[in-house]
Amino acid sequence: MTWMRIRPYNTNMHLKKRNIADKVKYLLSYFPVVVILGARQSGKSTLAKIIGADWKYFDLENIRDFDRITGDPILFFRENQNHIIIDEAQKSPQLFETLRGVIDQSRQKKGRFILTGSASFELLKNISESLAGRVGIIELSGFKMNEILDQPMSKFYSVFENKITADNLILLKKLKVTKSIKQIKDILLSGGYPEPALANDTQFHSQWMENYFNTYISRDMRDLFPKIDLIKYRRVVNMLSSLSGTIINKSEVARSAETSEKTIRDYMDIISGTYFWRDLPSFLTPKVKTTIKMPKGYFRDSGLALFLQNIDSLDKLDNYPRLGHIFECFVIEEVIRGLQTTSATKLLFSHYRTRAGQEIDLILEGSFGILPVEIKYSSYTTSKEVKALNDFVKIHNLPYGIVLNNSSEAYMVTENIIQIPLGAI
């Protein structure tokens, strides 16, 4: 069985406009260096080459480029002072110290270097120690739905450019559905990694995912953590794919994996640091004393999570007992990917649950304020189903809350809660 053909596979993925591209250009106008972080094969190199179309490109996974840069970094930067792309920069920690000196010699110059990295551990440490105040940081995930479908960004995200007010409801009520439920399910199943997402071929998708995951385990983990137990790590990653969208009890995972809780904590730091997994901490508020403080978490790419669960067709997806959970994770990531393209700052993402059982799937915080978001797979939501959301809005004196679901139009569920179709964002 094959999925709907979103569009024919095109190896020239540069034809796909990335939502984040304008923000990268904006940061280059303010900083000497912009670093693009994200999982392997999420399109970092392609994006950097599009933005720096006439820039020199070096890949630290290419032995010749690695030797040229690391053999004598001072000489390299003397010859290459501007408009340089360095891919997989985490491969050379000493690079950052030299780069700081190069930047400080002409501190007023902006837009000189683009670095990319697929592992945040040492890279973020080197950035904070050597390039603080000199660098803009972008996180690139896989494709958002509108990118796959060649659609513009939804006006939904414009509400985050300023403080959220009740006036936003006028715009939100006018949002129109631009993606069918069939298209949403196809993209949920395929995921957002550019190559398999554009291939629209189930056999290729499965082969790509298997090779991608095996390479991640056998090469990246061995390079980053030579002493890691790869068999046990693979087992834990597979287990987490079945727990995506739930509160993670590390002691229970440890028992199932027959290892220690500390090992599970370390493994989860690794899977997060390589951009496979996103933790959603608990939203803590002094206004509610009974909040459960345990984090939720999920695979960032729904296609990879479903592949690891052997879900490879729409029939299997429709009968998947955890469809609601995987849909919730997909929607959360979709919202975050859109929000990261805006000018909003101080972004925080969390979930909310009380001991009394009240739960909200996603709390968005930033320079815009606070916005609670509930996610439903159903096509409509009743006022009874948004009691927790309504209570949260009133307790925190917020303008409104949002329900995202598979409805066909936006409308008010209660005085303070608006239902918005996922197909409109």
Residue where a domain terminates, one of 92, 110, 139:
139
Strand order from edge to edge, sheet including 33-37 = 56-59, 84-87, 113-117, 33-37, 135-139
Q: Output the domain CATH number for residue 134.
A: 3.40.50.300
Strands 113-117 and 33-37: parallel
CA-CA distance, 240 to 27, in Å (whole number)? 35
Q: How far is CA 321 from CA 178, 305, 309, 326, in A?
A: 28, 14, 11, 10
Q: Dump pLDDT digits (tens) for 68-83.
A: 999 999 999 999 999 9
Q: Dump pLDDT digits (tens) for 201-242.
A: 889 999 999 999 999 988 888 888 888 999 999 999 999 999
Are residues 114 and 150 located together in one domain of the fold?
no
CA-CA distance, 37 to 19, in Å (whole number)? 15
Are residues 258 and 110 located together in one domain of the fold?
no
Q: Is the residue at 25 inside a domain?
A: yes
Query: Angle at CA 145, nearest 5°, toward 358 and 3?
Result: 105
Q: Once rounded to an integer, what is the mean pLDDT over residues 127-131?
A: 79
Q: Are 62 and 34 in contact (CB under 8 A)?
A: no
Are residues 291 and 189 located together in one domain of the fold?
yes
Residue where a domain terminates, one of 139, 161, 185:
139
The tokens describing 265, both together, are 């904590």
Say if residue 1's pLDDT is above 60: no
Say if residue 3's pLDDT is above 50: no
Q: Is the residue at 10 inside a domain?
A: no
CA-CA distance, 174 to 394, in Å (whole number)? 24
Query: Angle at CA 397, nearest 5°, toward 396 and 398?
Result: 95
Q: Is the residue at 394 inside a domain?
A: yes
Q: How far is CA 28 from CA 18, 25, 111, 115, 206, in A?
A: 16, 5, 4, 12, 37
Write the DSSP assignment of 216-265 as a string of letters: IIIIIHHHH-TTS-HHHHHHHHHHHHHHTTEE--HHHHHHHHTS-HHHHH
Domain holding 54, by residue range, is 21-139
Are residues 162 and 260 located together in one domain of the fold?
yes
CA-only gyration radius of the chain, Å = 22
Which residues, in sequence order, are bridge partners of residue 86?
58, 115
Percentage of the chain beyond pLDDT 70 is 96
pLDDT of residue 9: 39
User: For the chain, what is the domain count?
Assistant: 2
Q: Dump pLDDT digits (tens) for 322-332.
A: 999 999 999 99
Q: Dump pLDDT digits (tens) for 364-399.
A: 999 999 999 999 999 989 999 999 999 999 999 999
pLDDT band for position 57 (cuts 50, 70, 90): very high
Q: Is the residue at 1 inside a domain?
A: no
Helix (H) or strand (E) run with residue 365 in it: strand 359-366
For the beta carbon of residue 413, count every other beta carbon within 10 angstroms: 23
Q: Dump pLDDT digits (tens) for 189-198.
A: 999 999 999 9
Q: Single out the residue of 174, 326, 182 nearest to residue 242, CA to CA.
A: 326
Mean pLDDT, rounded, of the chain = 91
Are residues 296 and 335 located together in one domain of the fold?
yes
Instruction: Name the amino acid, one letter, at 150.
Output: D
Q: Once rounded to an integer, what is the mean pLDDT over residues 161-174?
A: 97
Are residues 105 and 223 located together in one domain of the fold?
no
Q: Once rounded to an integer, what is the mean pLDDT over residues 25-51?
A: 95
Residue where a domain terminates, one of 139, 159, 191:
139
Say if residue 92's pLDDT is above 50: yes
Are residues 149 and 130 located together in one domain of the fold?
no
Are residues 119 and 165 located together in one domain of the fold?
no
Percentage of the chain beyond pLDDT 90 is 80
Are residues 226 and 260 located together in one domain of the fold?
yes
Helix (H, G, I), strand (E, B) or coil at 44: helix
Q: Is the residue at 323 inside a domain?
A: yes
pLDDT band for position 8 (cuts 50, 70, 90): very low
pLDDT of residue 15: 64
CA-CA distance, 57 to 89, in Å (whole number)? 12
Handedness of CA 323, 197, 90, 21 (dihedral sign): negative
pLDDT of residue 292: 85
Are residues 276 and 162 located together in one domain of the fold?
yes
Q: Dump pLDDT digits (tens) for 257-313.
A: 999 999 999 999 999 999 999 999 999 888 887 888 889 999 999 999 999 999 999
